[in-house]
Each structure stands twice: as C-alpha cells, then as structure tokens.
Structure 1
C-alpha cells in the first residue's frame, strides 16, 4: 500500500458540487493545502506567475471556522478583484486567529478548467487533528 505524503491535497468525486481534501502535519499547513486544492478545482495555474502579494487576518474562532474564513476569502477576492492565490502562507496569530499571506495573479493569467466555486458549504465539513497530523474535507458549492 502506497503511503500518502505528509502534506498534500486532492479533489474527490461528489454528486453535484466539488469536494476537496487536504492534509499536513500542522493546522496552518492544512489550511494552505486546502486553498491550493480549491484553486485547482477550477483553474490550471501551470505557467502562471505571481504578480501581487496580499495579506489578511481571520479572527479567532473554532478551527473549522478559521478554515472556512480563509476559503471564503479566496472566493470573495475572485469575485471582487479577479485575483487568485498561487502561493499561500498561513501562520497562527497571537489572538487565536490566522494570518494569511498570498502571492497572487489575476484571473486573466490562468486557464479556466472547471466550475467556479460560489461558496463553501458547511455540510459535511471536517477539520481535525489526528495521529498523522491535520486533515480537512470541504464541499464547494458551484
């Protein structure tokens, strides 16, 4: 049986929407992998070059709420600024929230390959720590 890498993500089959899974040794790495998984559900970033950088903070909350806050921000910036993260750095903030830094590109620099997510569904959302690190599974409404 092939061992799963310590950090990664994948899309998994889902009836009507898009479902992603991500994993990493730490909570912040798992959130960063989930961002990459979300972006890869609808665009091909091959050859895209980051031409901007942006940061934001997610206020303190439960781990699942922090994850949803970051993924919601991806969708919000896509809708309002035509901007996508190519690289994601997530750090724990001293107040219990998250500090996120993205290297970004415009939507015109990538190729659309799937349905654009409209929202993060709370149905069947999971974000847990286990013996092998953190895992999350999220359904995206398209």
Structure 2
C-alpha cells in the first residue's frame, strides 16, 4: 500500500464462507511464519447478522482482538453460515509465542476500499489492515 502503515490482503474461494476463511489465513500470513507451530485448542466465534462486508470485518477484527488479549492466532479456520444472517467460526489456535513474527502486526481492519462479494463463479475480497 502507498501508506506505510497499511497492508492490503486479498482472498478468493468458491463460497462466501471459504473466502472469509482464506481472508483469515491471509491476515495471519502478513506478519507471521507459522511453519512448525502446532494447533492447540479450538475456539469459536459467532458473528451477529449483517452484510457480507460486516461479517468479514467482524471475523478479522476478532482475530486481531484475540491476538491482543489472549496471545493466540488461528492456524486453521472453518466458517459456516449460521442460517440467521451471521457466521459461525471455528479456529484451531496456537500461542503467539509459537510463531515467528516476520512483518508489522495489524492493529485494525480499515473500511477504506473494503470489497467483498461474488466474483465470477466464486467470491473474493480485498481488505486494508492498519499496522
């Protein structure tokens, strides 16, 4: 990104839920090398109903929140539709001490130029992260 305190991630997948999962992976990979880290406990998160963009931002914000407050990061992410307009997210996490920091740590998800929706035969998103 032109601004030194921003990182832009993009993700794509056949379904909305898989695209959110790929965005979580992209977020974590912007600043960590998790090679060799072992998946630990399972954590779950439920988003409230919202627009597709709101759901994506909620999930990514939760990853940053858990990193800041619980010192854990997702190694695997499974996202499902909750049937009521929200998402259910299940992560297998590892401690932040188990990964190598290789980049600037994200502090927030920016709404500037946020994009998430159907793209051809699947879904894609682009998100700016404040670092």
- TM-score (norm. length: structure 1): 0.89
Give how far 1:132 is off: 2.4
Say how many residue pairs are matched: 129
What's 1:73 paired with? 62
- Alignment deviations for residues 83-125 of structure 1 (CA, whole Å, 9 cap, x no partner): 0000000000021100000000000000000000000000000
Give how far 1:51 is off: 1.2
**Matched residues in 2 for 1:36 and 1:48: separation?**
14
Structure of greater relative contact order (alpha carbons < 8 Å, 6+ residues apart): 2
Is structure 2 residue 16 aligned with structure 1 residue 27?
yes
Uncovered stretches (5+) of structure 1, i.e. residues with no partner: 1-13
- TM-score (norm. length: structure 2): 0.97
Give how far 1:140 is off: 0.1
Is structure 2 residue 128 aligned with structure 1 residue 139?
yes
RMSD: 0.6
Give how far 1:130 is off: 2.2
